Amino acid sequence: MTRKILLNYTTKTTEPILASVIKETGLLLNILYAEFGTRGGEILLAIDAPDKDVNKVIELFKRKGIEIKEIKRAIQLDRDSCFDCGACLSLCPTGALYQTEDKSVKLDEDKCIYCELCVPSCPVRALKLSKF
Amino acid sequence: MANTKVNKSVAEINERIRRGDAVVVTAEEMVEIVREKGEVGAAEEVDVVTTGTFGAMCSSGAWLNFGHADPPIKMQRVWLNDVEAYTGVAAVDAYIGATQLSETRGFEYGGGHVIEDLIRGKEIVVRATAYGTDCYPRKEIETVVTKDDINQAVLCNPRNAYQRYVAATNSRDETIYTYMGTLLPNYGNVTYSGSGALSPLHKDPNYETIGIGTRIFLGGAQGYIFWEGTQHAPTKAMGTIMTVGNLKEMDARYLRGATIEKYGTTLYVGLGIPIPIINERVAKTTGVSDENIKTNLTDYGIPRKDRPILREVTYAELKSGKVEIDGIEAPVSSLSSLKRAREIADILKKWIGEKQFFLSQPVERLPTDQVFKPMKQITAVPFVRDLMTRDVVTAKPSDSITSAAKIFAEKNFDHLPIIDKKGKLVGIVTSWDIAVAVGTGKKKLSEVLTTDVITATEDEPIEAVARRLDKYGISGVPVVDARGELKGILTSDDLSKLLGGRKR
């Protein structure tokens, strides 16, 4: 299962933290989104690996002074309500919402970065974000 | 009309349906048949082509009759689940319109949702007030009804099934919320509506077979066309129809209340028209493909009646999910459901195959030469150019804070546009920025100016700019041309001239 962790960089650092974690663990850390300003920033990672490896990644970032938050929110597409218009599709920045060959709207949650743009765009409120 | 090689009457086609040997295909299948066999071959082979569309149709609503209470009431105003219905007709008749908003839940619930809830058999709270008469003494009533409790529930839509519709995008540098959905900044996405090759009215654009009295699929039941729709514009391939049908027989799968974000509520209507292939002309139009159905890609960033058209796009491009604008691919959203449109065309095909649905010969044809006129206005609408101040005091980024402070002290205004050597706007400084600059010991305007400036153009209507001032909580905007050169400034002081009765 893909787990998603949010790295919070609070101070300026010149160290290649992300690169060194990738090197040390040998895991493919997929950057879903990143944003940096003058006072640090954040990176959302998706890691498709066994739980113990992901836990090791989290431990390494913590040791390097990065705040970690595991994202456990879930976006849900209510297939009973959805009528496959596709209003959400062009708003989804990562292709997590997509249309199959027969024009059914589907959700690939692993790709979702929880930008929430799609939620209000659904005319029948078939997309919901639950936080737990 | 010119003579045709193939000639079939609706009665003959109905006879074939009755015998069980009519050839019925969907409009998507017809595209392939015409491509393979030509229009004459297709007309000889095929008897009926079914179409379908499932999209937001704001001009929809339902006539309801509640029956009389005891003592009776002549409803003057009536609300259904807090959504007001129109009752300026006889005592207990009312029209619930799809876009009317709930007085308690706003955009989340409206007339479209009331209609869906009625079909689903849910209880609806009815509240009415009246002035009271000798024959209708009652002044208020509150009750709960379902569709089974009321006498009539008739879906009656003044404008449905647009032959095609424009595709929308947004040139502005902000996200806008329109009836064409959420449009991202800088042509960030494209939205469109309509089923293209399955679109009912695009398959008989000359109205040879579709007319008053045509039996159709409406909301999951059999309904009828009873007039041309409002804004019917057949010469621009923007024909529409008025439709009617028994709401009590309909299915919520094909009639859904919906919310368009920050715009309002609407009703998604499922509609399909069976087209009898009476000759090869009709075979040809029913065989038109998505590649040959064009519409205009329109800039909704400009809030005018005639929005700028960027270029023509085909429904094939739109359905591909990507449209190129200025060399960059923009993702596309359909607002109507192609999957459900196909489902409707398939159901119509099945109904005809099972002899549950017969075609009707229209009693009158729909107009083919009507034009859609703009509203007659008797007062002129002011534009930015009419109210803006042209004589603007400006400064350069390299100017000192002190010199700017002096300008603010001498002149009575709050906005100082900052321009470069070529007259291009590079930022803005307000009197508040100067106060902060003095307090924090800044020296030059370049250190305090805001570069991300909200601007206006000369040809924008004042209403659009007033909305922008309100949205960003600002009191003025520099006016620039297409090259970003400063042309003037429009402030809330200029807007107040309007209230003073300034004539153009």
Helices (H), B21-71: 27-45
What is the DSSP annotation of B456-475?
B-TTSBHHHHHHHHHHHT-S
Does B317 have pLDDT greater than 80?
Answer: yes
Quick one: pLDDT band at residue A10, thresholds 50, 70, 90? Answer: confident
CA distance B383 to B304: 11
What one-character DSSP code corresponds to residue B104? Answer: T
Does B504 have pLDDT greater than 70?
Answer: no
Mean pLDDT for chain A overall: 90
User: Where in B103-189 does DSSP place strands (E)?
Assistant: 106-110, 124-129, 140-145, 152-160, 167-169, 176-178, 181-183
CA distance B337 to B268: 10
Chain B interface includes A83 (CB < 8 A)? yes
Coil, strand or helix at B213: coil
Mean per-residue pLDDT for B416-433? Answer: 91
Chain B interface includes A88 (CB < 8 A)? yes
The residue of chain A nearest to residue B177, with distances taken between CA atoms, is A121
Q: Which residues contact B501 (CB under 8 A, 6 or more apart)?
A: none
CA distance B429 to B411: 14
- Write out pLDDT tens, residues B237-264: 999 999 999 999 999 999 999 999 999 9
Does B503 have pLDDT greater than 50?
Answer: no
Q: B384-499 maps to which CATH number?
A: 3.10.580.10
Contact A87 B266 (CB under 8 A): no
- Write out pLDDT tens, residues B181-235: 999 999 999 999 999 999 999 999 999 999 999 999 999 999 999 999 999 999 9
Would you state the pLDDT for residue A132? 56
CA distance A18 to A64: 10
Does B494 have pLDDT greater than 60?
Answer: yes
How many whole angstroms from its chain centre is CA B205? 21
Contact B189 A85 (CB under 8 A): no
- Helix-strand-coil split of chain A, %, nearest 5: 25, 35, 40
Contact A86 B340 (CB under 8 A): no
More confident call, A109 vs B5: B5
Would you state the pLDDT for residue B171? 94
Find where tokens 């370049």 sit. B446
Identity of the amino acid at B181: G
Helical packing angle, B338-353 and B27-45, nearest 10°: 40
Query: From the candidates A90, A116, A117, A119, which should be mutated to test the interface with B, based on the most B CB atoms within 10 A?
Result: A90
Token pair recorded at residue B297:
């890609």
Residue B323 pairs in a beta bridge with B330
Chain A partners within 8 Å of B266 (Cβ): 123
User: Percent of chain B scored above 90 by pLDDT?
Assistant: 79
Active site residues of B: 135
To the nearest 10°, the Cα dihedral for B181, B185, B188, B192?
20
The lowest-confidence range among B257-266, B404-413, B456-465, B493-502 is B493-502
More confident call, B151 vs A65: B151
How many C-beta neighbours within 10 Å does residue A98 have?
17
Quick one: pLDDT band at residue A12, thresholds 50, 70, 90? Answer: low
How many whole angstroms from its chain centre is CA B334? 13
A vs B, Cβ pairs < 8 A, gives 73
Mean per-residue pLDDT for B456-476? Answer: 89
Most confidently predicted of B264-273, B419-428, B488-497? B264-273
User: B interface toward A at CB cutoff 8 Å?
Assistant: 54-56, 181-182, 184, 189-191, 256-261, 266, 268, 321, 330-340, 342
Quick one: pLDDT band at residue A33, thresholds 50, 70, 90? Answer: confident
How many whole angstroms from its chain centre is CA B118? 24
Would you state the pLDDT for residue B2? 63
List C-alpha distances in Å: B243 to A24, B230, B266, B418: 68, 11, 16, 57
How many C-beta neighbours within 10 Å does residue B466 have?
14
Quick one: pLDDT band at residue B500, thresholds 50, 70, 90? Answer: low
Does B96 have pLDDT greater than 70?
Answer: yes
CA distance B216 to B118: 21
In chain B, where the domains are located: 10-57+156-365, 67-150, 384-499
Q: A74-130 maps to which CATH number?
A: 3.30.70.20
For A2-71, the fitting CATH number among 3.30.1370.60, 3.30.420.40, 3.40.640.10, 3.30.70.260 is 3.30.70.260
Q: Say whether the peptide bond before residue B71 is cis (omega within 30 degrees of 0).
A: yes
Contact B339 A104 (CB under 8 A): yes
Does B468 have pLDDT greater than 50?
Answer: yes
Q: Return the ∠ at Cα B189 (arms to B337 and B182), rounded to 5°.
A: 70
In chain A, where the domains are located: 2-71, 74-130
Find where tokens 């200029």 sit. B494
How many C-beta neighbours within 10 Å does residue A8 have?
13
Helices (H), chain A: 17-25, 51-63, 118-121
Does B169 have pLDDT greater than 50?
Answer: yes
- From first CA to last CA, the distance across chain B in angstroms is 52
